[in-house]
Amino acid sequence: MSYCQKVLALVKKTSPHEPEFLQAVTEVLTSLEPVAAENPQYEKMGLLERFVEPERQIMFRVPWLADNGEVRVNRGYRIQFSSAIGPYKGGLRFHPSVYLGIIKFLGFEQILKNSLTGLPIGGGKGGSDFDPKGKSDNEVMKFCQSFMTELFRHVGGDLDVPAGDIGVGGREIGFLYGQYKRIKNVSEGVLTGKGLTYGGSLVRTEATGYGLVYFLEEMLASKGHEIKGKKVTISGSGNVAIYAAHKITQLGGTVVAMSDSNGFVYNPDGLNIEMVQIGKEIGRKRIKECFLSSTGTKFNEDCTNIWSIKCDIALPSATENELNQKDAEMLFGNGCIAVAEGANMPCTPEAIEVFLKNKVLYGPAKAANAGGVATSAIEMQQNSMRTFWTFDEVDTRLKDIMVNIYRKSAEAAKRYGFEGNLVVGANIAGFLKVADAMMAQGIV
């Protein structure tokens, strides 16, 4: 049995109830076979056993008072997965589906994603099973304050820097930051995605969606295609989806479908992205409600059916395992030429197989959606320097980083005999830097 397969068997034994974590580890360790074979010293140093085990896992109680006077209790998490190349860095997710396995898979993916950005950030992730939907601003504030009242002792500008993810946007980051500052009595860049008046960076709000489209542009260009004139389906209608849609439209593409967990909207002539943005960001509406006054836009109640819509490009940007083998076959059958992942692990392993087998260009999450965390690292740089860069300065850096990630991943795939397979390429390119750093620092 190869070293990678031995470590995979170990993880299956130690984390049997965490299917998302196992899914992520299986893909990565399978990709790393040629690298492990070339570097027998990894096995001697127990490198992969250490790589798949979080450095620290924190779970805590989050009690808070609802507006009606009832006491509510949620569970909070922060997984500090790897500090090999820098302080732990990664988002916080507030969603009822959150449990340890989800946070572990996200934290594990984050290690390699952050490495791919080329910036000195380690991997972490956190969150809670708290559902911000249907809660008042006051309840969200109370929850965030209670969450930070425990989390503050584990994070810090040079230690662990959380940010947003599903259910955590500008409003939540503001409440979390306020409470941290109040308890610690220090103004430091302990969170990213902050508001522009208190240490945030221009472009961070747009960064994941914009970065996804910059990556897509580069991937399409490798085969002589461009975004102009293409029909694009984007699942989700949150932070990532909205700004991906914005950039696609700016570059001459047409967004034909978007969704939320209640269903999807569809217009073959193109959706009005501003209506989504205003409805979702300001009104916190359901996607159906954003288009009540619009003729020509249809609504379908099953969000999973979004992949049946004919499109040239698909950008799954909602959540994990939202696109399965059947969806992938439908997309390919309808002429889809490229898929880039805005969400983390949105395509099932069987769906990825369909794309690779049929030569559909496929950009895996840890490469394609790294623009968000890369711009978070740029926000950290500005905080450390006590400075503020212009929109164009940050946007130019983001674009360079995304182009570099594409090239690094494509080159690594080619070098290890998997030309065109960005799954293997991104996993190897991200891993090599982390492995070097781990080897240099001894058994820790």
Which parts of this chain interact with ligand 2IT (CB under 6 A)? 89-91, 113, 163, 165, 192, 344, 372-373, 376
| Candidate residues 165, 217, 218, 312; the one interacting with ligand NDP per rule CB under 6 A | 165
For residues 121 and 114, is the Cβ–Cβ distance under 8 A? yes
Which residue bears the tokens 């507006």?
Answer: 67
Q: Which of ligand NDP, ligand 2IT, none has residue 254 at its interface (CB below 5 to 8 Å by kind)?
A: none
CA dist 251 and 313 (Å) reads: 14
Q: Which of residues 214-243 bind ligand NDP (CB under 6 A)?
A: 236-241
CA dist 426 and 408 (Å) reads: 8
**In this structure, which amino acid lies at residue 296?**
G
CA dist 336 and 313 (Å) reads: 6
| Candidate residues 25, 111, 256, 303; the one interacting with ligand NDP per rule CB under 6 A | 303
CB of 289 to ligand NDP, least distance (A): 12
Q: Which of ligand 2IT, ligand NDP, none has residue 343 at its interface (CB below 5 to 8 Å by kind)?
A: ligand NDP
CA dist 232 and 37 (Å) reads: 40
The reply to whether 344 sits near ligand NDP by the rule CB under 6 A is yes
CA dist 75 and 80 (Å) reads: 17
* Closest residue by beta carbon to ligand 2IT: 91
Site string for ligand NDP, 174-213 (x = CB under 6 A): ----------------------------------x-----
User: Catalytic residue positions?
Assistant: 125
Which residue bears the tokens 């240099």?
Answer: 440
Nearest to 411 by CA among 397, 429, 395: 429
Give the contacts of 381 (CB within 8 A, at least 6 positions apart).
none
| Candidate residues 234, 248, 343, 377; the one interacting with ligand NDP per rule CB under 6 A | 343
CB of 128 to ligand 2IT, least distance (A): 14
Q: Which of residues 244-263 bind ligand NDP (CB under 6 A)?
A: 260-262
Kindly tell me which of 233 and 369 has the beta carbon lying closer to ligand NDP: 369
The reply to whether 110 sits near ligand NDP by the rule CB under 6 A is no
CB of 166 to ligand 2IT, least distance (A): 8
CB of 376 to ligand 2IT, least distance (A): 3
Kindly tell me which of 128 and 239 has the beta carbon lying closer to ligand NDP: 239
CA dist 54 and 281 (Å) reads: 34
* Cα–Cα separations (whole angstroms), residue 425 to 52, 142, 212, 363: 19, 43, 17, 10
Kindly tell me which of 191 and 330 has the beta carbon lying closer to ligand 2IT: 191
CB of 298 to ligand 2IT, least distance (A): 31
| Candidate residues 128, 249, 369, 409; the one interacting with ligand NDP per rule CB under 6 A | 369
* Closest residue by beta carbon to ligand NDP: 238
* Cα–Cα separations (whole angstroms), residue 54 to 101, 107, 302, 312, 404: 12, 8, 37, 39, 28
| Angle subtended by helix axes 371-385 and 100-116, to nearest 10 | 70
CA dist 157 and 264 (Å) reads: 39
Size of the site for ligand NDP (CB under 6 A): 24
Kindly tell me which of 114 and 267 has the beta carbon lying closer to ligand 2IT: 114
For residues 3 and 42, is the Cβ–Cβ distance under 8 A? yes
Strand stretches in 281-434, DSSP E: 298-300, 313-316, 338-340, 361-363
Kindly tell me which of 149 and 239 has the beta carbon lying closer to ligand NDP: 239
CB of 28 to ligand 2IT, least distance (A): 16
Q: Which of ligand 2IT, ligand NDP, none has residue 352 at its interface (CB below 5 to 8 Å by kind)?
A: none
CA dist 313 and 337 (Å) reads: 6
CB of 127 to ligand 2IT, least distance (A): 10
Q: What's the token pair of residue 270?
A: 């193109």
The residue range among 62-70, 317-325, 396-404, 427-435 that interacts with ligand NDP, by the rule CB under 6 A, is 317-325
Q: What's the token pair of residue 284?
A: 């916190």
Q: Which of ligand 2IT, ligand NDP, none has residue 90 at its interface (CB below 5 to 8 Å by kind)?
A: ligand 2IT
The reply to whether 364 sits near ligand NDP by the rule CB under 6 A is no
Classify strands 298-300 and 263-266 as parallel, antiparallel or unpaired.
antiparallel
For residues 140 and 105, is the Cβ–Cβ distance under 8 A? no
CB of 91 to ligand 2IT, least distance (A): 3
Residue 134 class from Cβ within 10 Å (0-12 exposed, 13-18 middle, 19+ buried)?
Answer: exposed
Q: Which residues bind ligand NDP (CB under 6 A)?
A: 164-167, 169, 208, 236-241, 260-262, 303, 317-319, 342-344, 369, 372
